[in-house]
Amino acid sequence: MNTQIAENLEQVSSRINAAEKAAGRISGIVQLIAVSKTRSTIEVRNAVTAGAHHIGENYLQEALDKQAALTDIDIIWHFIGPIQSNKTHTIANHFDWVHSIDRLKIARRLNDQRDADKTPINVCIQVNISNEETKSGISLNELPGLAAQINELPNLNLRGLMAIPAPEQSAAALSADFARMQHSLDELNQSGLTLDTLSMGMSGDIEMAIAAGSTMVRVGTAIFGPRNKPQA
Ligand SMILES: *Cc1c(COP(=O)(O)O)cnc(C)c1O
């Protein structure tokens, strides 16, 4: 058992608890997703043994390999990476959550390809909150339309919004991005949706994201240490 991962996990949990308290949020409202891209199956197993329950993966084949080796433990799997349309069938049936939907075509395919005997898959719409030209995510202008359409798909359970803000910005700009996410979620709920999830906050900005209303933080480096090179 790797004690470093257990220690790191405990530190991250303390940061989350302290941030909830500082922001006047309900204790335990923020779910931790341990992001294990490029990490080995053993590292994931260590994290789960140390108390992680939600695991986030970006690359499908890498995730499938780990899932096959970890069938003996109880894990809630989150897909958080870019989605190619030829991968939707596998993603729809190997994950409990998908955070990175940013177009209707992908949403429809996931809906149509989710096995009929499974409960609807939990999904978030990825928002390009910092308006980066090359980044995944839908713009805020297009969000209400896409959310309304995804909300009609029976095999998807639209839970909320996800964002990866531009990393190289000031604390003030980052905080404004997070605030816009909360505001957008509120607006969707005022328009009649019932969304409960804001997936935002990573190793470096857990506290700021929780202060702004995050309900799921996706944390890699602070749990597993500096990342190895991605697999080809
Ligand atoms: C890698 C990754 C994370 C975790 O980032 P860290 O800075 O290592 O905590 C979170 N979300 C997504 C989408 C990622 O790709």
Query: Mean pLDDT, the chain, as a whole number?
Result: 96
Top mutation candidate among 9, 54, 80 for ligand 1, by most atoms within 8 Å of CB: 80
Verify whether ligand 1 is closer than 6 Å to residue 35 (CB atom): yes
What average pLDDT score do residues 98-108 get?
A: 98
What average pLDDT score do residues 111-139 get?
A: 94
C-alpha–C-alpha distance, residues 13 and 33, integer Å? 11
Which pLDDT value is given to residue 167?
A: 86
58: Cα separation from own chain's centroid = 10
What average pLDDT score do residues 198-215 get?
A: 97
pLDDT bracket for residue 232 (50, 70, 90): very low
What average pLDDT score do residues 133-145 get?
A: 93
What average pLDDT score do residues 159-168 get?
A: 94
- In terms of residues, how long is the chain? 232
Verify whether ligand 1 is closer than 6 Å to residue 66 (CB atom): no
Which pLDDT value is given to residue 128?
A: 96
Verify whether ligand 1 is closer than 6 Å to residue 203 (CB atom): yes
**Ligand 1 center to 117 CA (angstroms):** 32
The helix (run of H) or strand (run of E) holding residue 215 is: none
User: Where are the domains positioned within the chain?
Assistant: 3-223
**Ligand 1 center to 34 CA (angstroms):** 9
Q: Does domain 3-223 have CATH number 3.20.20.10?
A: yes
pLDDT bracket for residue 229 (50, 70, 90): low
Verify whether ligand 1 is closer than 6 Å to residue 37 (CB atom): yes
**Ligand 1 center to 220 CA (angstroms):** 5
Top mutation candidate among 35, 59, 231 for ligand 1, by most atoms within 8 Å of CB: 35
Verify whether ligand 1 is closer than 6 Å to residue 164 (CB atom): yes
Is the per-residue pLDDT at 11 higher than 80?
Answer: yes
pLDDT bracket for residue 132 (50, 70, 90): confident
Is the per-residue pLDDT at 118 higher than 70?
Answer: yes
Is the per-residue pLDDT at 210 higher than 90?
Answer: yes
* Lowest-confidence pick of 69-73, 131-135, 147-151, 188-192: 131-135
pLDDT tens figures, 22-70:
999 999 999 999 999 999 999 999 999 999 999 999 999 999 999 999 9
Ligand 1 nearest-atom number relative to CA 227 = 8
Angle subtended at Cα 135 by Cα 129 and Cα 86, rounded to the nearest 5 degrees = 120
Contact indicator for 3, 190 with CB cutoff of 8 Å: no
pLDDT bracket for residue 133 (50, 70, 90): confident
What average pLDDT score do residues 195-205 get?
A: 97
Is the per-residue pLDDT at 230 higher than 60?
Answer: no
Burial string for 94-114 (b: 16+ CB within 10 Å, else e) reads bbebbbbbbbeebbbbbbeeb
Backbone angles phi and psi of 205, in degrees to 5? -140, 30
Ligand 1 nearest-atom number relative to CA 81 = 13
Ligand 1 nearest-atom number relative to CA 37 = 1
Which pLDDT value is given to residue 1?
A: 56
